[in-house]
Structure 1
């Protein structure tokens, strides 16, 4: 009975990720068609944005502004901490250190989606405007990463970078979903709830199946670049989660909200930041960033990090509350 209970405690969406990871490592022919993967990604991004937008329609913006500004500050702080570690301890070139630091200062939408599903399955509540903070946290690290790599120079194509950052597919879908949910409100989105809300976890399971396959493909980069990326890919999220927890406490978030913010801080981007770095810092090696973000940090957060960050948030709230 004990063993059966332990097995049923594993979230099915995590098992989908493990299936994809195993299939990739075993060099299976399993693949999702690219069009299907793109569609699933779009639905997930829109669903996250819609959920946040519906809640924004019920909250005054003045209440959210301090949290938005604090999260922007956190987005600037994290890459500034990661850069000297990568540059001086890891021995990376300036461009590579700046690029990896930008990845770890930004956020993974997939990790956020897994976290929200994990919380929902355990009936853990958190502030519903977290998708807004997710969008806000995408941007500061990209700007800091470019500045650390280039400095203030005319060679930086600011207009092109700005277009890539603010008009990239991920940001457009998240912000677009937020605006639609905000304008339509709870009643307006009722007709599309079956697709975007009711099927969210099933669509996420298919997305994680493909993410497992992609993660397996980046394991080769870890073999080539040694153990430092493995240590950094685990150590940096743990440190960032502490910072996210501290910000959550300072902002007066609930236990669930603090844990979500810690998860956001601990995640690493592999969509928005690679696209921006490809334009602004083309000499940076993208294999380094993706090997760490996808090969180490994403599976660590999905399998271990999320429950760990919730336990950290619960412990800190209990200690300070007591």
Structure 2
């Protein structure tokens, strides 16, 4: 019992220390700074072209490091964490469907889009998590960053497919309801005599003809669109270059030294965007704010549990477990929004982008990262 108390005290101490450290870190500091200056009405603007360049540089760096590590790694060690990443991406969307979508004033398609965005991965949050692990001296597999697409793509595909199925079912239900009304009208006109009319003789036959068949949901176009998104394209390009070329020299001399500086600028841009989205979030149900605060931490804890299973079975490092938890805790801020706008056009971006950018990302970076690092340190200390 005493030992358990000591472990809990160590965990709490580490969490508080890491939380304060995150508040003082450039990553969260620039994020909060961006939110403050935007709230004060600053006219500071970062050109969109610079933003896209920074995102490209960060993700290609992450991809390069992952590709280099995969080339040197045992593929058997990667399989289970990658499988868990896929399952987590799908599971997070289902969680949103059966929790957020059941709350008052929440539209199902908006909830599914939100689940897809929170199941997808934030490259900037991943980069912040890697930086925090390095600052704490916690070792992790370099290929762990390559788990990004294994969670990102399944989450987006699942959200879009579930929304398509839901909307198709609603469309069919409305057609059936219309068919019933039309059937009653025709029955009244024909006075119950269908034998001399060119209408079905039974209600079931009539409805089956009017209802039609639901539209088929095509999976490959969704996957293709996700893969062609700018964020995943950059990450996968980096992975391919790391796997099939020898980019170590340019990686060490160019990409790696620029990483933290570019990440800080990205956080500043995201902070300004978060303040703008916060005003939009007020226009939709307040439940999105509650979900955006609680869900990322829950997702991260589930991922941490999956990671510990991989740790026990394959020797997956505790640093790798933290990375899996961090990407599950994150919500996509680059590839996800445009993919969901195209895949679920009826969903309200103010709901899913606002909840992600204004609340989800600060929670993931400010609370999630130190929380999972503190938990890993408590387990290492135990």
Question: Would the TM-score normalized by the shorter structure come out above 0.5?
Answer: yes
Which residue is 2:370 aligned to?
A: 307
Runs of 4 or more consecutive aligned structure 1 residues displaced over 6 Å after TM superposition? 6-9
Which residue is 1:200 aligned to?
A: 259
Q: CA RMSD in A?
A: 2.0
Asked if residue 190 in structure 1 is aligned to residue 246 in structure 2, the reply is: no
Q: Which runs of 5+ in 2 are unaligned?
A: 1-19, 169-213
Asked if residue 264 in structure 1 is aligned to residue 327 in structure 2, the reply is: yes
Asked if residue 154 in structure 1 is aligned to residue 168 in structure 2, the reply is: no
Structure whose CA Rg is larger: 2
**Secondary structure in 2 aligned to 1:49?**
helix
Q: 1:231 to 1:316 in 2, by over 3 A?
A: farther
Which residue is 1:16 aligned to?
A: 30
Q: Is the 8 A contact 1:157 1:280 kept in 2?
A: no
1:15-73 CA-partner distances (Å, limit 9, x unpaired): 22222111111110111122211111110010010111111111122331222122211
| 1:100 paired residue among 99, 114, 126 | 114
Asked if residue 297 in structure 1 is aligned to residue 297 in structure 2, the reply is: no
Q: Which runs of 5+ in 1 are unaligned?
A: 1-5
Asked if residue 278 in structure 1 is aligned to residue 341 in structure 2, the reply is: yes
Q: 1:90 to 1:180 in 2, by over 3 A?
A: farther
Q: Is the 8 A contact 1:259 1:310 kept in 2?
A: yes
Which residue is 1:88 aligned to?
A: 102
Offset of 1:189 from its aligned partner? 2.2
1:149-190 CA-partner distances (Å, limit 9, x unpaired): 1218535454542321111111111011011011224xx321
Which residue is 1:68 aligned to?
A: 82
Q: Is the 8 A contact 2:117 2:332 kept in 1?
A: yes
Q: 1:141 to 1:193 in 2, by over 3 A?
A: same
1:238-259 CA-partner distances (Å, limit 9, x unpaired): 1111101101100013222111
Q: Is the 8 A contact 2:101 2:108 kept in 1?
A: yes
* Residues matched between the structures, number: 312
**Secondary structure in 1 aligned to 2:54?**
helix
Q: Is the 8 A contact 2:23 2:29 kept in 1?
A: no
Q: Is the 8 A contact 2:333 2:357 kept in 1?
A: yes
1:266-293 CA-partner distances (Å, limit 9, x unpaired): 1111322222222221111111001110
